[in-house]
Structure 1
Amino acid sequence: MNIEKLIKEENASIVDVRTPQEFSGGHVSGSVNIPLQELQNRIDDLKQMKSPLILCCASGNRSGMAAQMLSNQGLECYNGGSWMDVNYYQSQN
């Protein structure tokens, strides 16, 4: 799956798994902040979002953990890595 293409064409939901404090310091326009530790309790919310989910964080570590966890729950999702990379792809429209 071409994550960059999904982001550019707005064919996915972007979920930032950083803390609210990190998110408030800068984030991808249109992204939703659901911290990693809250994901398990927000599965129903995530299932309502446009699929697939592109997950991002500061470096790609937390979003990688989130992608593995959500994939195990049956959600189509991808690790987008750093929110700054995702933001860059989105700005290429």
Structure 2
Amino acid sequence: MSAEIKEYLEKDAVILDVRTLGEWNEDHIETAKHIVLNLIPLEVEQIKSWNKPIIAVCRSGGRSGQATQFLAKNGVDVINGGPWQNVDVLLK
């Protein structure tokens, strides 16, 4: 998993955190973008406009998995990064 995340980070991927605002406010990756999971369908055009690969993250990997499936169906180059700390560790 982390090899794929590293590969995406090297491709200048955008880290997309799909947790709730409360979870985001507790702690998050400085460079990540925050869009709550249930808003992803409304924001899909904005996400596509970033024109970059996406690494979706959340608390455990479940919600980011749902976001990954949805975005992939909509033509976005996306992987599930799982828990946000998995990706954060690779940025240090």
RMSD: 1.4
Alpha-carbon distance in 1 for matches of 2:81, 2:72: 14
Counterpart of 2:75, as a letter, is G
- Counterpart in 1 of 2:83? 82
SS in 2 for 1:89: helix
Q: Which runs of 4+ in 1 moved over 4 A?
A: none
Q: Which runs of 5+ in 2 are unaligned?
A: none
Q: TM-score when scaled to structure 1?
A: 0.89
SS at match of 1:2: helix
3-state SS of 1:18 partner: coil
Deviation, structure 1 residue 34: 0.2
TM-score (norm 2): 0.90
Q: Which moved more, 1:53-62 or 1:9-18?
A: 9-18
1:43-89 Cα shifts (integer Å, max 9, x gaps): 11101114110000001010011100110111110000100111001
Larger CA deviation: 78-87 vs 45-54: 45-54
Identity across matched positions, percent: 33
Which SS does the other structure have where 1:63 is aligned?
helix
Unaligned runs of 5+ in 1: none
**1:36 CA drift (Å):** 0.3
Instruction: Write out aligned runs for 1:29-40 (5 A).
Output: 29-40=30-41
Alignment check: 8 A CA contact 2:58 2:64 kept: yes
Residue correspondence of structure 1 range 66-81 to structure 2 within 5 A: 66-81=67-82
CA distance in 1, matches of 2:11, 2:31: 10
- Number of residue pairs aligned between Structure 1 and Structure 2: 90
